[in-house]
């Protein structure tokens, strides 16, 4: 059996801080119309800004597309102004939460330990955390890619086998996010293989490892052809229904 065959491909949109009621409604109507035929071979999901999760829930609840948040609090409840808890995300039907996106690591000072605590909070509520990791351009040029990824993953892997068996990992080189520069399939595969080896050492063979960073319809197929790339986390291209669906179909 092909070892990748039991990891169903996952294509997840990250809308970031984009959209609005009207634009979201149109985007989701178009996604809904085109997603049905893709559902057999691909899990489709979108991660929306918090205020729109109710809209997303009402519009996608009878579709094959699942949804999630772009962040989650590590805390359960209380005096954490501006934070959104896992239980709140459950109230709005979220299946997924991104944790440790590079924009949050860079702009909000999220450490590897904070990211792991957020992953734990998601898991405790039955939400699948999508743990984002990736090196900066300077780190890549210094040949530190694999060391950085291992460091970022460390506290998450320390959550233990049971927890790790329920996560998704997204490798997103920071230099490829929103820049139009994608890692070559071979470059990405090398990092994915290293992540896979770490996961396999915890018996988590089935955990999906997504690639992210300027994924488009015209580069998705070559990335997905790599044995350890199980799907994509898509930013800019997820705001255009046709482009996103073509990535899922790739
Ligand atoms: P991009 O973003 O596809 O626009 O590069 C990916 C991400 O940040 O998740």
Domain spans in the chain, listed from the N-terminal domain onward: 7-249
Question: 177 CA to middle of ligand 1, Å?
Answer: 5
DSSP 91: H
Token duo for residue 189:
């595969």
How far, in Å, from the CA of 39 to the mean position of ligand 1? 22
Give the closest residue to 210 by CA, choosing from 128, 111, 118.
128
| Cα–Cα dist 52/13, whole Å | 14
Which of 137, 178, 240 maximizes ligand 1 atoms within 8 Å of its Cβ, making it the mutation to test the pocket? 178
Q: Which atom of ligand 1 is nearest to the CA of 213?
A: 5
The predicted structure's pLDDT at residue 39 = 87
* Contact indicator for 218, 237 with CB cutoff of 8 Å: no
The per-residue pLDDT for range 187-233, each reduced to its tens digit, is: 999 999 999 999 999 999 999 999 999 999 999 999 999 999 999 99
What's the chain's average pLDDT? 96
* d(C-alpha 132, C-alpha 140), whole Å: 16
How distant, in Å, are the alpha carbons of 35, 37, 81, 92, 247 from that of 212?
20, 23, 30, 25, 12
Q: Is the pLDDT of residue 2 over 70?
A: no
Q: What is the rounded distance in angstroms from the CA atom of residue 192 to the CA atom of residue 198?
A: 10
Tell me the catalytic residues: 101, 172
**Atom 7 of ligand 1: nearest residue by CA position:** 235
pLDDT value at 52 more than 60: yes
Nearest Cα to 154, choosing from 128, 189, 116, 104? 116
* CA 1 to ligand 1 centroid distance, Å: 32
The residue to mutate among 17, 104, 170, 177, having the most atoms of ligand 1 within 8 angstroms of its beta carbon, is 177
Q: How confident is the model at residue 6 (pLDDT cuts 50, 70, 90)?
A: confident
Q: Render pLDDT for 73-130 as a digit per residue (tens, 0 to 9).
A: 999 999 999 999 999 999 999 999 999 999 999 999 999 999 999 999 999 999 999 9
| Ligand 1 atom nearest to CA at 103 | 8
Q: Which token pair is 243?
A: 């482009």
Closest ligand 1 atom number to CA of residue 14: 9
Find how far residue 19's CA is from the centre of its chain.
Answer: 19
Q: Report pLDDT digits (tens) over 165-186.
A: 999 999 999 999 989 888 999 9
- Tell how far the Cα of 33 is from the centroid of ligand 1, in angstroms: 24
The answer regarding whether domain 7-249 maps to CATH 3.30.300.130 reads no
Alpha carbon of 77 to ligand 1 centroid (Å) = 30
**Alpha-carbon distance 161 to 184, whole Å?**
31
1 band by pLDDT with thresholds 50, 70 and 90: very low
For 97-144, give the DSSP string. EEES-HHHHHHH---HHHHHHHHHHHHHTTPEEEEEE---HHHHHTT-
Ligand 1 atom closest to 132 (CA): 9
pLDDT for the residue numbered 5: 43
Instruction: Pull the structure tokens for residue 231.
Output: 């799907």
Q: Which residues line ligand 1 (CB under 6 A)?
A: 14, 172, 177-178, 212-215, 233-237
């Amino acid at each position: 059996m092909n070892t990748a065959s039991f990891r169903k491909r996952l294509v997840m949109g990250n809308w970031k801080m984009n959209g609005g009621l009207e634009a979201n409604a149109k985007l989701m109507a178009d996604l809904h119309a085109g997603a049905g035929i893709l559902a057999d071979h691909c899990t489709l999901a979108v991660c929306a800004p918090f205020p729109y999760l109710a809209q997303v829930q009402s519009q996608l609840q009878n579709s094959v597309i699942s949804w999630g948040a772009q962040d989650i609090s590590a805390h359960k409840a209380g005096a954490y102004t501006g934070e959104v808890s896992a239980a709140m995300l459950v109230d709005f039907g979220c299946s997924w939460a991104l944790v440790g996106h590079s924009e949050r690591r860079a702009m909000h000072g999220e450490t590897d330990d904070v990211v792991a605590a957020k992953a734990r909070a998601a898991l405790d509520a039955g939400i699948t955390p999508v743990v984002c990791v990736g090196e900066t351009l300077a780190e890549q040029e210094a040949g530190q890619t694999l060391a950085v990824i291992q460091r970022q993953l460390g506290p998450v892997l320390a959550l233990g086998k049971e927890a790790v068996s329920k996560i998704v990992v997204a490798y997103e080189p920071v230099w490829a996010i929103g820049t139009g520069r994608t890692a070559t399939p071979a470059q990405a595969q090398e990092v994915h293989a290293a992540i896979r080896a770490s996961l396999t050492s915890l018996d988590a063979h089935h955990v999906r490892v997504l690639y992210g960073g300027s994924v488009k319809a015209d580069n998705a197929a070559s990335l997905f052809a790599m044995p350890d790339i199980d799907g994509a986390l898509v930013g800019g291209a997820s705001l255009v229904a046709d482009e996103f669906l073509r990535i899922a179909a790739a």
